[in-house]
Structure 1
Amino acid sequence: MEDARQSMIALRGLRGGRVTVSTPPGLSIEPLARIIGNFRRSYPEVTVSMLPTEDGALAVTAVADAACEVGLTDRTVSADLRAHSIGSNEIVVVLPPGSTPGEKGPISLDQLAGVPFISSAIGTRARGLLDEAKERGIPLHTAVETPHREAVIPLILEGVGAAFLPWTVSQEARSRGAVVLPLLPRVTYDLLIVHRDQPLTAAAQAFVATALKVGSTRGPGSRDSSRPGQQPDETIHG
């Protein structure tokens, strides 16, 4: 019924209407904010409603369950959904200001042995790297465990410990003095915009088109891939 109502609104030429987008916290910073900015400049009378989810998998579930029309994710997408790659991201290590890890280039998990870490929620890529290190016997000490992602950067800046963060999120910490290093091997993954495999409302259609246009300017790794069931490309450690 809501899709039908939005379709009727679209007959007025996107003068009004709404598009609901599910997204995990990290992607709401980048690239979602940039996509919304471009979208609003083209369609100022359409309301964008953000449906927060704890991680990318739940963002996909929200789309599949019709809680929203469009989702941003960094996780596997089921074959009954359509997925478009709009860029890529990378997990990096972010250390407190003044840290001297011994080099400026990529750094391995083994080289981080003994460094205290801030642990994020279970299911995140960052938590997965900490768990991997423990399985390999690398002593990465957990100084703080927090489910509050917004607390991680302030804790790093206070010198509490290091953290694994998406590159897009790490730039705020870098601007405030933190040390940001890529990992060796690098951990990269695709950023995807997903929707159900059925006609979209005009507002959602315009939003997806905007995301593809904005994503296509992001350089290496930015490509449109609308194959259903696409999986993000990730470098596996170990």
Structure 2
Amino acid sequence: MELRQLEYFIAVAGEMSFSKAAHRAHVVQSALSTSIGKLEKELGVELFDRARQQIRLTPAGELFRQHAHRVIESARLAKESMSDYRGQLTGTVELGSLIAFGTLDIPRVLGEFRRAYPHVRIRLQQSQTGSMAYLSAIADGSLDLALVSAPDRFPAGIHMQLLAEEPMMFVCRDGHRLAGRDRVALTELADEDLIDFPVEFGLRRLVDDAFRAAGVSAHTPYEVAADYSKAAALVRHGLGSVFMPASEAAHYPDLRAVRVQPKVIWTIYLASAERIGPASAKLAELLVAAADGGR
């Protein structure tokens, strides 16, 4: 059994797709499938149920994944622990990203980190199902750090550090009936056509929960991919309105940003496991310092 076989297995278990896992592991799909097949043959069990349209872990695969994560994490920590003896920081940091960073200048921090530690590789990932998916990835070791938007849970064993928070704004076109208002109550928006992200996204849940707390329901006929510019274009053409963090709304001066009552606060947390390698710890330190400097 080779460490690379375990890494391929973890990739497939995380993506539940051989093609996506091959892309994530930077290997051709045939090589990855062959490696998994050899691993199953060596273990004498099937790790994946391939009988359905979407593959699933077998009970044996679920158990094996727990041990495989520990082995890979231990191997990586052992390798990174030698950086002090080599006189330079090395390794790879797997970082889960958001579609928007609010007031945080994440690209600047990553650039500074890269210049300071050129032998550390940063792999940036962006979930298509919202940042809450990063928490399970942190727990199983496939991510080292992640930026999580408006989390609705704080799992045991995962360290959550608040980096930033800001109010959400109701953003509409200039000719909208509420464009001249200083603020608007959520109850006044019950019949408003809203443009928002898919339901898995933290920003979407944040807005939906705020409406429910106000005793009304959000009406969201338009869902867009993870991109505020597409939502802004729909707003300009009169198809609806959108909720944006204040810092994002400032990017579209041709639209009207109205304060919301009661306030809806968007938060960004840095998630990490309780034990992380030296490179991940240094990047986390820089991210926290940048957040503290911006407050």
TM-score, normalised with respect to structure 1: 0.75
User: Which residue, out of 51, 55, 73, partners 2:130?
Assistant: 55
C-alpha contact (below 8 Å) 1:14/1:203 kept by paired residues: no
The answer to whether residue 288 in structure 2 is matched with residue 209 in structure 1 is no
Could you list the structure 1 runs, at least 4 aligned residues long, displaced by more than 6 angstroms after superposition.
Answer: 134-137
C-alpha contact (below 8 Å) 1:119/1:144 kept by paired residues: yes
Kindly tell me: are residues 61 and 14 of structure 1, through their superposed partners in 2, closer, same or farther at Cα, counting changes over 3 Å?
farther
- Rounded Cα–Cα distance in structure 2 between residues aligned with 1:12 and 1:28: 37
Aligned residue for 2:145? Answer: 70
- Rounded Cα–Cα distance in structure 2 between residues aligned with 1:60 and 1:139: 28
- Rounded Cα–Cα distance in structure 2 between residues aligned with 1:194 and 1:136: 30
The amino acid of 1:206's aligned partner reads K
Structure 2 residue runs without a partner (length 5+): 1-74
Structure 1 residue runs without a partner (length 5+): 220-238
- Rounded Cα–Cα distance in structure 2 between residues aligned with 1:56 and 1:124: 7
Q: Which has the larger Rg?
A: 2
Aligned-pair distance for 1:216? 0.2
SS in 1 for 2:267: strand
- Rounded Cα–Cα distance in structure 2 between residues aligned with 1:41 and 1:182: 40
> Which of structures 1 and 2 has the larger relative contact order (alpha carbons within 8 angstroms, sep 6+)?
1
- Rounded Cα–Cα distance in structure 1 between residues aligned with 2:277 and 2:245: 32
Higher mean C-alpha displacement, 204-213 vs 56-65 = 56-65
Alpha-carbon displacement from aligned partner over 1:68-123 (angstroms, at most 9, x marks no partner) = 11111131321212222222133222212443515443321123344322132013
Give identity over the alignment, percent: 19
Kindly tell me: are residues 80 and 155 of structure 1, through their superposed partners in 2, closer, same or farther at Cα, counting changes over 3 Å?
same
Kindly tell me: are residues 2 and 163 of structure 1, through their superposed partners in 2, closer, same or farther at Cα, counting changes over 3 Å?
same
Indicate the RMSD between aligned Cα atoms, in angstroms: 3.0
Paired residues, number: 215
Kindly tell me: are residues 13 and 108 of structure 1, through their superposed partners in 2, closer, same or farther at Cα, counting changes over 3 Å?
farther
User: Which residue, out of 231, 235, 249, partners 1:170?
Assistant: 249
Aligned residue for 1:185? Answer: 262
The answer to whether residue 168 in structure 2 is matched with residue 91 in structure 1 is yes
Mapping of residues 216-235 of structure 1, within 5 Å: 216-219=292-295
- In proportion to residue count, which structure has more helix? 2
C-alpha contact (below 8 Å) 1:119/1:142 kept by paired residues: yes
Kindly tell me: are residues 87 and 161 of structure 1, through their superposed partners in 2, closer, same or farther at Cα, counting changes over 3 Å?
same
